[in-house]
């Protein structure tokens, strides 16, 4: 099995995001076959990774690998203080982020969401779950001791909380706010006085895809990756798969040709 990313010719072609009328052929999803263009990065999937776990690597996991790679390494922590991260959102990207942050060396990874069922799952990915709106989360925000915050929920109102929670010199990664309703209620003064680094992360490059496959290969028995994806629907039952996705019963719904 191989996972493809995209190829660069005179423009960026991203598989699954183009329409046939663009002139680049059959490059979308929900099909039995896909045409790969010359120069496409392909990464072999080790045999011990099940298809159901591998399927989201080339979107969600590779994107979060890119995001977490922007953070400083935890090595060289001369003060010997616990390294703390805050993940805002317990969807698929958030759960991957929890595991990757623990793998990077963060001692405590708080994960917050309004969905209690998803939060329960976050603990299996190395996180300390915190329900949005509870007193514990407010204490984390007011404590201003978070080294790194990762927004993966797509809700703009959480950004002011993330900025407040960060310690001076902290880093904030914005990943989920990829939509027009994303105006932020923060001031430049808040960012400047705390010397914060804010960075937006969108998609990934071939090196991140390779690193994502390596990460899952190494941790496939440590984290329940298979619980993030539904049992597969046949392609002919695509309508049922879409209904399952709309029900939010699963973080991702799988379809097989």
Quick: pLDDT tens for 23-62.
Answer: 666 666 677 777 777 778 889 999 999 999 999 998 899 9
**Where does the chain show beta strands of DSSP type E?**
2-4, 6-8, 12-14, 42-44, 84-88, 108-113, 128-131, 146-151, 166-174, 197-200, 233-234, 255-256
Q: What is the pTM of this model?
A: 0.92
Please list, in sequence order, all residues whose beta carbon lies within 8 angstroms of the beta carbon of residue 237, skipping any fewer than 6 positions away. none
pLDDT, one tens digit per residue, over 211-256 is 999 999 999 999 999 999 999 999 999 999 999 999 988 999 999 8
């Amino acid at each position: 099995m191989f996972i493809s990313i995209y190829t660069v010719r005179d423009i960026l072609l991203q598989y699954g995001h183009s329409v046939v009328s663009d002139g680049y052929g059959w490059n979308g999803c929900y099909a039995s076959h896909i045409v790969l263009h010359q120069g496409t990065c392909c990464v072999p999937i080790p045999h011990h990774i099940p298809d159901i776990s591998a399927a989201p690597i080339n979107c969600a996991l590779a994107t979060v690998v890119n995001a977490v790679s922007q953070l400083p390494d935890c090595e060289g922590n001369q003060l010997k203080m616990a390294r703390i991260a805050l993940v805002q959102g317990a969807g698929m990207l958030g759960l991957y982020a929890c595991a990757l942050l623990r793998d990077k060396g963060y001692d405590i990874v708080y994960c917050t969401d309004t969905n209690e069922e998803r939060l329960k799952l976050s603990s299996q990915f190395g996180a300390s779950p915190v329900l949005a709106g509870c007193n514990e989360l407010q204490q984390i925000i007011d404590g201003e001791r978070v080294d790194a915050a990762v927004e993966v929920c797509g809700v703009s109102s959480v950004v002011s909380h993330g900025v407040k929670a960060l310690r001076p010199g902290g880093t904030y990664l914005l990943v989920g706010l990829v939509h027009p309703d994303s105006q932020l209620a923060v001031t430049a003064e808040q960012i400047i006085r705390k010397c914060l680094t804010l960075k937006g992360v969108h998609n990934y490059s071939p090196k991140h895809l390779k690193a994502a496959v390596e990460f899952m290969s190494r941790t496939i028995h440590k984290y329940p990756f298979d619980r993030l994806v539904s049992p597969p629907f046949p392609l002919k039952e695509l309508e049922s798969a879409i209904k399952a996705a709309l029900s939010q019963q699963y973080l991702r719904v799988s379809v097989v040709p």
